[in-house]
């Protein structure tokens, strides 16, 4: 009997440990990007042509770019643009998708059908291609890139929120709340939303990494953040011509993207495991 | 005297894609007087819960009228319906599921009080009072639904239903998960409320002995229709309808 009793406990503990570890890492990342102005060893915008394209050394851990700007400083400053625009994007699509989904699920009828067909249309499109087209039409720039990715990414959240709301709608406790004289807004805010928000938040955690990649991708293609603003995707793109002669020059932004995407993905996975009572145990 | 509840021609047809329409409640009508307790019995699936949901307007009517205290509530919605819920409450058949799993029992019991304009402190006090009235202790207000037993949850559900002192109480198998002693207490509580508040009760129940002891009148439902109506002793001792006969034989 002992092993079957102990097993869930081990799983639970490891999930919780992972949650704490990755949570702390993610928070550190966000704090770093908040304090980035104070963490840079050099001025990230200061050009020093005499020291351009320097190889990694004690003074410049990741080398310098073609204008002699310190890569490490630029990556640190770039974290603010990259991480905050990603978090903003994920917040937007989560909020918009949830509102639309809850509305559709609750209201039903024609408007539900129409909105869901529209979201089907978006879901059927390859995301990055659509975002490229939108950003291309609107012109480059970080705001347009965020808008383009938001326009294509909300339907996933609307789908989840809608199906969750439909499942909630007929539960006895919602009927009881109605019978207790709660109006629609109260029922949605006090009963429906708290009960559906878990899976939605898990999805957004898992999406942070993806969205970071896609934003960096758009910036890399010149449709996101514009130089001289330090942003990881555009930094890689700026320096890609030099890749053959000075290969370390894209190392710093590449590593930064890789590490942050990995941290947020692992955090998302862990939150999903934690939210699922079967893997968390009782 | 005007009936507190009058139901006319009540009908519910469930439509589903593919399968033929299903008439769960078939043109039924009855009246309930103030202070009266009306039993509703019938086998599983005969449409009792559907009747309760139709009267409380939690399910849309296919046809018919529901008149509560002289007011036709069958086409009300929004504010009007919420006002009607001041006079009419229900104890659900599934007590544990009728409380939000993420909220404490006290929140659920006090929800109607807050919605009808009581302040937080008043609500807290009243909830404690109600819990004691229903045979629980005040600290149950802090428990979550999954932390209490089915019977305790059922008593909390009863507390919630009587919180705003309705004129009509619909009990959908409200005592089925209670053991005999607690059941007796709850029945006594209902008896007191009937005297104090002139409460009318529609008592949906499987237990014929309980109906016989507690109800003034009984309706027998079979396949969505009311097949017999009368004083419990007469219906049970001399059932006129063939189905009632079988139902009573099978239980006694
Ligand atoms: N939403 C629905 N859609 C389709 N059919 C339904 C729906 N709700 C109930 N029914 C059907 O209506 C009939 C009556 O159901 P109801 O719940 O009223 O029975 P009941 O008399 O309360 O039974 P029990 O004693 O088991 O609670 C059943 O045959 C059921 O299958
Ligand atoms: Mg029922």
CATH of the domain at B196: 3.40.50.300
Nearest-atom number in ligand 1 for the CA of B46 is 21
Query: Residue A191: its chain B contacts at CB < 8 A?
Result: 100, 103
- With beta carbons less than 8 A apart as the criterion, state whether A224 and A234 touch: yes
Residue B126 touches partner A, C-beta closer than 8 Å:
no
For residue A202, give the CATH number of its domain.
1.10.3720.10
Count how many domains chain A has. 1
Closest CA to A71 of A248, A260, A281: A248
Which domain covers residue A110, as residue numbers?
9-35+72-280
Mutation choice for ligand 1 from B41, B50, B174, B203, CB with most ligand atoms inside 8 A? B50
Same domain, B53 and B127: no
| Structural domain includes residue A153 | yes
Q: Smallest CA–CA separation between B61 and chain A, in Å?
A: 16
d(CA A238, CA B247): 84
pLDDT bracket for residue B20 (50, 70, 90): confident
Nearest-atom number in ligand 1 for the CA of B14 is 4
| Structural domain includes residue B69 | yes
d(CA A109, CA A180): 26
Q: Is the CB of B244 under 6 A from ligand 1?
A: no
For residue A260, report the distance from its CA to the centre of ligand 2, in Å: 54
Q: Smallest CA–CA separation between B87 and chain A, in Å?
A: 11
In eight-state DSSP terms, residue A250 is G
Count how many domains chain B has. 2
d(CA B233, CA B217): 9
| Structural domain includes residue A53 | no
Minimum mean pLDDT among B35-49, B61-75, B112-126, B170-184: which range? Answer: B170-184
Closest-approach residue (CA) in chain B for A170 = B58
| Structural domain includes residue B181 | yes
Q: In the sheet that B5-14 helps form, which strands lie side by side, from edge to edge?
A: B22-32, B5-14, B63-68, B71-72
| Structural domain includes residue A275 | yes
Q: Do A183 and B111 touch (CB under 8 A)?
A: no
Q: What's the pTM?
A: 0.79
pLDDT of residue A2: 46
d(CA A73, CA A45): 9
Nearest-atom number in ligand 1 for the CA of B22 is 5
| Structural domain includes residue A210 | yes
Average pLDDT over residues B113-120: 86
The tens digit of pLDDT for each residue in B36-49 reads 899 998 888 889 99
CA dihedral B72, B77, B78, B82 (to 10 degrees): 40
Same domain, B42 and B83: yes
Tens digit of pLDDT per residue, chain A (282 long)?
Answer: 444 445 555 555 688 888 899 999 999 999 988 888 888 888 878 787 787 777 778 787 788 887 888 888 888 888 888 888 899 999 999 999 999 999 999 988 888 888 889 888 888 888 778 888 887 888 878 888 888 889 888 999 999 999 999 998 889 999 999 999 888 898 999 899 888 888 888 889 888 888 888 888 888 887 877 777 788 888 888 777 888 888 778 888 888 889 998 998 898 888 887 776 555 543
Query: Residue A182: its chain B contacts at CB < 8 A?
Result: 111, 115
| Structural domain includes residue B200 | yes
Q: Do A176 and B98 touch (CB under 8 A)?
A: yes
Query: Residue B118: its chain A contacts at CB < 8 A?
Result: none
d(CA B22, CA A269): 45
Question: What is the ipTM metric for this complex?
Answer: 0.87
d(CA B202, CA B187): 13
Same domain, B171 and B239: yes
- With beta carbons less than 8 A apart as the criterion, state whether A77 and A40 touch: yes
Q: Smallest CA–CA separation between B58 and chain A, in Å?
A: 7
Residues of A with CB under 8 A from a CB of B: 171-173, 175-183, 186, 190-191, 194-195
Give all strands (DSSP E) within B58-211, no chain letters. 63-68, 71-72, 88-91, 168-172, 200-204
Closest-approach residue (CA) in chain A for B93 = A172
For residue B204, report the distance from its CA to the centre of ligand 1, in Å: 14
User: Cα angle vertex B42, ends B18, B54, to 5°?
Assistant: 60
Same domain, B71 and B174: yes
Nearest-atom number in ligand 1 for the CA of B206 is 25
Domain boundary among B139, B165, B191: B165
Q: Is the CB of B24 under 6 A from ligand 1?
A: yes
pLDDT of residue A92: 95
Same domain, B173 and B78: yes
pLDDT of residue A11: 54
d(CA A148, CA A137): 10
Cβ atoms within 10 Å of B172's Cβ, excluding its own: 24
| Structural domain includes residue A59 | no
Residue environment code for B38-52, b if the CB has 16+ CB neighbours within 10 A, otherwise e? bbbbbbeebbbbbbb
| Structural domain includes residue B196 | yes
Residue B214 touches partner A, C-beta closer than 8 Å:
no
Partners of B14 in the beta sheet? B22
| Structural domain includes residue B92 | no
Which domain covers residue B221, as residue numbers?
5-87+167-251
């Amino acid at each position: 009997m002992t092993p079957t009793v102990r097993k869930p406990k081990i799983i639970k503990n490891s999930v919780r440990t992972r949650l704490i570890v990755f949570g702390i890492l993610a928070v550190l990342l966000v704090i770093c990007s908040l304090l980035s102005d104070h963490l840079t060893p050099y001025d990230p915008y200061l050009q020093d042509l005499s020291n351009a394209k320097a190889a990694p050394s004690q003074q410049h851990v990741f080398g310098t770019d073609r204008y002699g700007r310190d890569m490490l400083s630029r990556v640190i400053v770039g974290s603010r643009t990259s991480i905050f625009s990603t978090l903003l994007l994920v917040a937007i699509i989560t909020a918009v998708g949830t509102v639309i989904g809850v509305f559709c699920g609750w209201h039903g009828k024609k408007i539900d059908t129409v909105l869901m067909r529209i979201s089907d249309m978006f879901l059927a499109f390859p995301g990055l291609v659509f975002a490229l087209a939108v950003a291309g039409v609107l012109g480059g720039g970080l705001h347009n890139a965020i808008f383009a990715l938001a326009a294509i990414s909300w339907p996933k959240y609307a789908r989840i929120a809608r199906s969750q709301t439909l499942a909630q709608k007929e539960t006895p406790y919602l009927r009881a709340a109605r019978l207790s004289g709660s109006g629609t807004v109260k029922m949605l805010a006090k009963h429906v939303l708290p009960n559906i928000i878990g899976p939605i938040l898990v999805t957004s955690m898992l999406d942070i990494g993806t969205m970071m990649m896609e934003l960096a991708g758009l910036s890399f293609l010149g449709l996101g953040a514009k130089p001289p603003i330090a942003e990881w995707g555009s930094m890689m793109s700026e320096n890609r011509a030099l890749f053959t002669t000075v290969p370390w020059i894209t190392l710093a932004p590449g590593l930064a993207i890789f590490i942050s995407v990995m941290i947020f993905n692992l955090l998302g996975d862990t939150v999903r495991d934690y939210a699922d009572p079967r893997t968390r145990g009782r | 005297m005007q009936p507190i509840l009058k139901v006319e021609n009540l009908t519910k047809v469930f439509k589903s894609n593919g399968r033929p329409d299903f008439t769960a409640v078939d043109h039924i009508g009855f009246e309930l007087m103030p202070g009266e307790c009306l039993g509703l019995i019938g086998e599983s699936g005969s449409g009792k819960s559907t009747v309760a949901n139709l009267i409380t307007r939690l399910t849309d009517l296919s046809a018919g009228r529901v008149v509560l205290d002289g007011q036709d509530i069958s086409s009300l919605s929004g504010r009007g319906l919420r006002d009607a819920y001041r006079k009419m409450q229900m104890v659900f058949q599934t007590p544990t599921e009728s409380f939000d799993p993420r909220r404490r029992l006290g929140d659920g019991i006090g929800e109607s009080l807050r919605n009808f304009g009581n302040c937080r402190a008043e609500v807290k006090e009243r909830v404690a009072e109600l819990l004691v009235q229903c045979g629980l202790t005040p600290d149950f207000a802090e428990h979550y639904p999954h932390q209490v037993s089915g019977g305790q949850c059922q008593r909390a559900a009863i507390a919630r239903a009587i919180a705003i002192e309705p004129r009509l109480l619909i009990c959908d198998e409200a005592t089925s998960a209670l053991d005999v002693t607690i059941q007796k207490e709850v029945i006594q509580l209902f008896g007191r409320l009937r005297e104090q508040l002139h409460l009318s009760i529609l008592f949906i129940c499987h237990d014929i002995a309980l109906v016989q002891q507690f109800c003034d009148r009984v309706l027998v439902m079979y396949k969505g229709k009311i097949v017999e109506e009368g004083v419990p002793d007469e219906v049970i001792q001399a059932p006129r309808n063939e189905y009632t006969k079988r139902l009573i034989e099978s239980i006694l």
